[in-house]
Chains A and B, each alone.
Chain A
């Protein structure tokens, strides 16, 4: 009976201590310019969403490519070149699709093309084409990349920032100041 009292006491103490846990402030969504800023990553930023995902061999891996601007330093752009490197030791490229932002939420049909070197480098070229607008502005979704896993492993999909480029409709280059990779875990 005494042991039971001890157990209740410990349980009550644990309940009190556990219920008063201070959570760590972990606001790190790659699409959030503040989160990128907190990480010391400059803007505009090329990011992938989600920043990390764990899949099984039977799943497909969907990675979304985003351009993220700070609200106070937005610049209109019309075309983007992305060079993406992925781990081909366990992932195989399946599909690449234009994102909602570059299609102006499916209102425009962009010029969207890509090249794949057959190894692990993908180059995506996309231009915003619309009958009324010359460019688009803000944070948005550029492309979706779908991979098929064929082996287990853990690695990152990343941008080769020095080969990535963003231009306005007059072909002026807009500097890209940061990028974030995405982690893929295949179990």
Chain B
């Protein structure tokens, strides 16, 4: 019993020593929408204990994981095959996509022995000087446990130190208040040109409908009062009949246009408030963090 315990401890020590000496060999597949200069040389120089092999023809084999049911095992056979073919322990797939002033980066790390996905990361952040290389360093350093303070500092240099103290030039409340004054203004202020036009058009049409209803109401009310006066001031049977008919018609019209005016005013008021709430909802949201870290599902992480 004692003998077997001693053998086990020795085996453990030897295994650990072997594993410490084992340098990771990595096949790197990069899929960048723009050329990122000096990627290969930077990785080689920053991770001198690792061996990198770069391959540009295979990167299409790896892609979007969001649509995959079981991302941890979706390329097992291919990964194992590539591991044998290139004689590497890991396959590192990097993808960078640029969008205006931001860039989106995805990293996938596969173990060629198991064929499974062991690390996955997605980030979306503001473009900063040397950002792509720095983020690659952070990503590779993170998965191979190689930390460098400089890389963290580079990234932190683009973050706000005290975001809550910033005065935001555009706020949802500012958008709501603007839309409360002029429908669509808040949406335009938030850059939502289409919805701004829709709200402004709808409210203008409703306001115009109120105005038209009011003018018709006023005309009918004035007509009613005039005909009522004429009706009361005549003792001629024919004129009485005529003025009565006209007064009745005008009275009906003034009630009808009043009801229309109320309906349009109700719709305008409701729309006005809804437009303000909408402006607040679609209003410019303050960015307190420049980058947003993707929170991967645990199954993908564990591989």
**Which residues of A come within 8 Å of B, CB atoms?**
19-23, 25-27, 29, 31-32, 34-35, 49-50, 64, 66, 138-141
Residue pair B221, A138 in contact (C-beta under 8 Å): no
Residue pair B258, A27 in contact (C-beta under 8 Å): no
A49's partner among B217, B221, B235, B247 (CB-CB below 8 A) is B235
Show 26 residue pairs from A and B whose CB-CB distance is below 8 angstroms, ordered by the A residue.
A20-B214, A20-B261, A22-B258, A23-B221, A23-B224, A23-B225, A23-B251, A25-B248, A25-B251, A27-B228, A27-B231, A27-B244, A29-B235, A29-B240, A29-B244, A32-B231, A32-B240, A32-B241, A32-B244, A34-B244, A35-B244, A49-B235, A64-B235, A66-B235, A138-B237, A140-B237
Known contacts A22-B255, A27-B247, A138-B237; 13 additional CB pairs below 8 A are: A20-B258, A20-B262, A27-B228, A27-B244, A27-B248, A29-B234, A29-B235, A29-B240, A29-B244, A32-B240, A32-B241, A32-B244, A139-B237
Residues in B with CB closer than 8 Å to A26 are 228
Interface pairs A-B: 8 shortest CB-CB = A139-B237, A49-B235, A32-B240, A31-B240, A31-B235, A25-B251, A29-B240, A27-B244
Residues in B with CB closer than 8 Å to A22 are 254-255, 258
Chain A min CB distance to B244 (Å): 6
Chain B min CB distance to A67 (Å): 11
A45 to B240, CA, bound (A): 16
Looking at chain B's contact residues, the main secondary structure is helix
B135 on interface, CB distance cutoff 8 Å: no
Residues in B with CB closer than 8 Å to A49 are 235
Residue of A at shortest CB range from B213? A20
B218 on interface, CB distance cutoff 8 Å: yes
Residue pair B231, A29 in contact (C-beta under 8 Å): yes
B232 on interface, CB distance cutoff 8 Å: yes
Residue pair A23, B254 in contact (C-beta under 8 Å): yes
Residue of B at shortest CB range from A27? B244
Residue pair A19, B235 in contact (C-beta under 8 Å): no
Residue of A at shortest CB range from B236? A31
A21 to B258, CA, bound (A): 8
Chain A min CB distance to B148 (Å): 62
A177 to B244, CA, bound (A): 23
Chain B min CB distance to A6 (Å): 18
Residue pair B232, A29 in contact (C-beta under 8 Å): yes
Residue of A at shortest CB range from B257? A20
Residues in A with CB closer than 8 Å to B262 are 20
Most chain A CB within a 10 A radius of its CB, from B218, B240, B241, B262 = B240
A32 to B241, CA, bound (A): 7
Chain A min CB distance to B250 (Å): 9
A31 to B218, CA, bound (A): 29
A11 to B63, CA, bound (A): 67
Residues in A with CB closer than 8 Å to B236 are 31
A35 to B245, CA, bound (A): 12
Residue of A at shortest CB range from B232? A29
Residues in A with CB closer than 8 Å to B248 are 25, 27
Residue of B at shortest CB range from A34? B244
> For residues 123 through 169 of chain B, which have their beta carbon under 8 Å from a beta carbon of chain A?
none
A40 to B240, CA, bound (A): 19
Residues in A with CB closer than 8 Å to B235 are 29, 31, 49-50, 64, 66, 141
Residues in B with CB closer than 8 Å to A138 are 237
Residues in A with CB closer than 8 Å to B217 are 20
Residues in A with CB closer than 8 Å to B214 are 19-20
A175 to B236, CA, bound (A): 23
Residue of A at shortest CB range from B259? A22
A29 to B242, CA, bound (A): 13
Residue of A at shortest CB range from B250? A23
Residue of B at shortest CB range from A51? B232
Chain B min CB distance to A18 (Å): 11
Interface string of B256-275 (1 = CB under 8 A from A): 00100110000000000000
Chain A min CB distance to B70 (Å): 65
Residues in A with CB closer than 8 Å to B225 are 23
Residue of A at shortest CB range from B238? A139
Residues in A with CB closer than 8 Å to B228 are 26-27
A183 to B87, CA, bound (A): 119
A50 to B241, CA, bound (A): 16
Residues in A with CB closer than 8 Å to B218 are 19
A26 to B262, CA, bound (A): 23
Residues in B with CB closer than 8 Å to A141 are 235
A23 to B221, CA, bound (A): 8
